Structure 1
């Protein structure tokens, strides 16, 4: 079996004892360092914590079909940017394996999976949904900002199967701007509705006038949600 590729990472370490982790995935064409800089510009003072490590991985450059095969730092390929087309599952599943190694690194460092949150912006949010719904449903939660899943996504089937077997599901936190490109806000809201129908607990926040971008109110809400899911531990 081929070795899993190690991804470049930008890491914001906690100021105190590390007891939880957040993996934050960038959008298509960006990098972990780029997303980290954007977050720092948007939220004051920062998306940083006393006890939570925040990890910003960078996707490897790969040919991207919507860009006519040009190389781009994307988590997976798409046949086209459309909710109605089939997913490129081969590239999605391969990246789930690669990103799973980051989760395993945190577990090896002593962080239980129920103290890990996976999330992302745009394509990173869709990637996080596949990770959380299909591969690592025992994490504390998943967040998706300005993101959507394709209409017949494989991620919609996994939660129902897990519930039927008596297991729990991660909580989903979504945010989307009402002025996002095309009909992406509606696609994002539809994703939340469809996942809620599978049995997941979902929360969808609309931000009036926001385009395909991060905002301070959105990030402050996300930070509060992260702390509610990953509070400081009382052990010494």
Structure 2
């Protein structure tokens, strides 16, 4: 079964005692190492912390329909790159189970679930939203960069159902470039609006002139948000 697969990962270890974790998912066709290198190139200093481990998994290669079935490292399949097409829930749910093993590994290492943040770029952000809204709503937060959900995503109903049941959900932060030509800014903004309408606490940040890419101002904003969600647990952590 796919859920038994172990994903390749690379990680940036904390300088001090490990007390929290971030799982950062790459976009379609990339790898964990590729995203990690991109982040390092964009940020000065690096996305590294005294107490937080940052984990970059790599999606397994699968036939990808928008590429006419060619193999690609994507988190899930879809009929086309469009907000109007239905979600391929079989591949999405399969990957949620696989990625869940990484979260479980952090918990087994002594990191509480509410000390884990999940996020990603582009398709990785969509994958993170499925994980956080439907499978692991007890994480500390979720972030989505240049990302999306399809207009009839099951996540909107999942959020509504949790809120009706009086259950909590993680906070979402989204960042999106106004010049994004692959995932249009309006698509990202509508995703945030629909999740907020469903009852999720969301914050949406626009970056003028930014295309479908990472930027240092965006990543500095994300760093601050991560530290707010996952503060050091001791003074020794913050001084490491």
| Superposition TM-score, scaled by structure 2 size | 0.96
Q: Please tell me whether the aligned partners of residues 148 and 184 of structure 1 are also in contact (alpha carbons under 8 angstroms).
A: no
Q: Any unmatched runs of 5+ in structure 2? A: none
State the 1:209 CA deviation.
0.2
Alignment deviations for residues 97-121 of structure 1 (CA, whole Å, 9 cap, x no partner): 0000000000000101100000000
SS of residue matched to 2:15: coil
Give, in whole Å, the separation in 2 of the partners of 1:183 and 1:145. 10
Give, in whole Å, the separation in 2 of the partners of 1:215 and 1:48. 16
Corresponding residue number in structure 1 for 2:95: 95
Q: Please tell me whether the aligned partners of residues 182 and 212 of structure 2 are also in contact (alpha carbons under 8 angstroms).
A: no
2:164 matches 1:171? no
SS of residue matched to 1:63: strand
1:87-236 maps to which residues of 2 (within 5 A)?
A: 87-181=87-181, 184-234=184-234
State the 1:3 CA deviation.
5.6
Q: Please tell me whether the aligned partners of residues 2 and 95 of structure 2 are also in contact (alpha carbons under 8 angstroms).
A: no
Q: Please tell me whether the aligned partners of residues 11 and 55 of structure 2 are also in contact (alpha carbons under 8 angstroms).
A: yes
Give, in whole Å, the separation in 2 of the partners of 1:4 and 1:155. 24
SS of residue matched to 2:22: strand
Give, in whole Å, the separation in 2 of the partners of 1:235 and 1:208. 37
Change (3 A) 1:130 1:3: closer
Q: Any unmatched runs of 5+ in structure 1? A: none
Q: Please tell me whether the aligned partners of residues 178 and 208 of structure 1 are also in contact (alpha carbons under 8 angstroms).
A: yes
Corresponding residue number in structure 2 for 1:45: 45
Corresponding residue number in structure 2 for 1:36: 36
Give, in whole Å, the separation in 1 of the partners of 2:183 and 2:218. 20
Corresponding residue number in structure 2 for 1:16: 16
Q: How many residues align?
A: 236
Tell me how large the CA RMSD over aligned residues is.
1.2
Alignment deviations for residues 142-201 of structure 1 (CA, whole Å, 9 cap, x no partner): 000000000000111111111111111100000000000156210000000000011111
Give, in whole Å, the separation in 2 of the partners of 1:44 and 1:157. 39
State the 1:7 CA deviation.
0.1
Give, in whole Å, the separation in 1 of the partners of 2:3 and 2:56. 21
Q: Please tell me whether the aligned partners of residues 21 and 55 of structure 1 are also in contact (alpha carbons under 8 angstroms).
A: yes
State the 1:234 CA deviation.
2.3
Give, in whole Å, the separation in 2 of the partners of 1:205 and 1:85. 26
